[in-house]
Chains A and B, each alone.
Chain A
Amino acid sequence: KNQVEQSPQSLIILEGKNCTLQCNYTVSPFSNLRWYKQDTGRGPVSLTIMTFSENTKSNGRYTATLDADTKQSSLHITASQLSDSASYICVVSANAGNMLTFGGGTRLMVKP
Chain B
Amino acid sequence: GAVVSQHPSRVICKSGTSVKIECRSLDFQATTMFWYRQFPKQSLMLMATSNEGSKATYEQGVEKDKFLINHASLTLSTLTVTSAHPEDSSFYICSASETRQVHQPQHFGDGTRLSIL
A interface residues (Cβ-Cβ under 8 A, vs B): 31-32, 34, 36, 41-46, 49, 51, 89, 96-98, 100, 102-105, 107
Contact = CB atoms under 8 A, between A and B. Distances in A.
Nearest to B45: A102
Interface residues of B, number: 27
Interface of B: 4, 6, 32, 34, 41-46, 49, 91, 93, 95, 97, 101-111, 113
Contacts of A44: 44, 93, 108
Contacts of A42: 110-111
B105 A46 contact: yes
A107 B44 contact: no
Nearest to B4: A43
Nearest to B106: A100
A31 B103 contact: yes
Contacts of A32: 103
22 contacts: A36-B105, A36-B108, A41-B113, A42-B110, A43-B95, A43-B108, A44-B44, A44-B108, A46-B106, A46-B107, A49-B104, A49-B105, A89-B43, A96-B102, A97-B102, A97-B104, A98-B32, A100-B34, A102-B44, A102-B45, A104-B42, A107-B41
A43 B41 CA distance: 14
